Structure 1
Amino acid sequence: MENDNQDSQQKVKALFDARAKLLPDCNSVLDANDNVDVKFQNVYRDYLSRNLARSVIRPGKNEVILDFGCGVGRLSEFLAKDAGKIIGLDLSDEMLKVAEKNKKSPNIEYKNTSEIAELQDNTFDKIFTFWVLQHIEDVTLSKYIEKFHRLLKDNGTLFVFEQTQTATTNYNDVHIQRAGSDYENLFLQGSFQLIKKKNVFRFPSYGMDIWTRMGVNSRITLKMARMVEGFTVNRKPEHAQYYTQLFVFKKQG
């Protein structure tokens, strides 16, 4: 079983190393398709996720924050100006190379996920992870959850943004779309208390439909599409294939 888990993580690493080499920018962690139309859609995905992360996490000037699965550093960089320090961890060495190359904020430090054991316990005010846990099978994820608990300060906060379906589906060796209840159970078993859960994006997306139809890359269009996203995320759930859900947990014990 342990060998299977290691093999799975090696496949994930190989996938994202290849993505970073093909698309050495934020496209590699969104829809990694070297296609003009997809890249245009990624502008909206990037805008939506960055602004959501900032509004929910609300980094403070004296806070130390862990970005677990930081990829090319797009969220670390966006949040850094409001934070005391951000440490970004990622499994992919190639992703980390892109993150280092593009780093503009002196208060960011990037490390390989393998170095998580070297981080001091009770260090972080907040930990967040965005579209990452779907690439980690249950046994390994449970171990990371235990480490998150140790790394957080007392009463620290953990933010999980993750794609979910009604029932867990294993699409392949590197992509597991769990049910929201599965994430709740995994973190509750790890001595976390769930304090908030909500749908924040959906697929298909009304906001994305507007963005694509208008075909104009402007801040006004982005804001309008984001507003529509917020109004319609829970509309006609029978038409949604999956959601991105936000889970907010507090450290207990």
Structure 2
Amino acid sequence: MSEAGAFQAEFSRALMAADPSARPMGLDPAMAGRFAIYRNNVHRGLGDALIAAYPVVAKLVGEEFFRAMAQGFFRAEQARTGSLALYGAGFADFIDGFDAAASVPYLSDMARLERARLEVLHEADEVVLDAGILAAFGDDLAGCRFVAHSACRLMNSSFPIHAIWVRQQADSRQTEPIVQQAENVLITRPGMTVRQIVLDDAGAVFARCLLDGMTVAEGYGAAIERDPQFDVTSAFAQLIAVGAFAGLRE
């Protein structure tokens, strides 16, 4: 490693050290104060970016706890994106191993939901499949395969993360108790607005099959194994309406 490279590595080590008084070896002692200011600014900026990316997680645990958790995340990162707009990849996995957050068992799944929303928001614009195109297929629709829209994510949680997320929004008017149950959440962005809907278990199986490139018939077969009363017509129409697909596979 070159001398410049070695200094950069040492600078990065000191920048993320747990000791707030740490400074790079070889740094002019007269620059220690300036380095401390720079270090504080970097930590504050990363913390602010993480709060912007995970606002509900921050609200659930409070800013003080969140920033303490963020400090651990900074130090544990092996790589970091150059864009603060998409900062925080891997935060949910970090929360899974953060013992102090164990009392909020759904916290990491909430982080996964917020990460999915962030990624969907920043995905490239892509045409949404027009439902009118499907009319020509008639009975042959069962053999169709679809291209998943790039701004589409499907996640499964053992907790009611959609209900909790909605309750934490500033404009929420929900007051009834949240039912403690698993939820499957589909996040899409048809146009410029991020949407999320809850799917029942059979609907989630069906959606996953189609998003993975299986035919409608194959997806239906998997869904009725989960629920013999599965309504494929309404489930399929819902996926089309929320922009889950970008087109048909050839």
Which category of TM-score, normalised to the shorter sequence, fits these structures? under 0.3
Structure with the largest fraction of strand? 1
More helix by share: 2
TM-score w.r.t. the length of structure 1 is 0.24
Normalised TM-score (structure 2): 0.24
Higher Cα Rg, which structure? 2
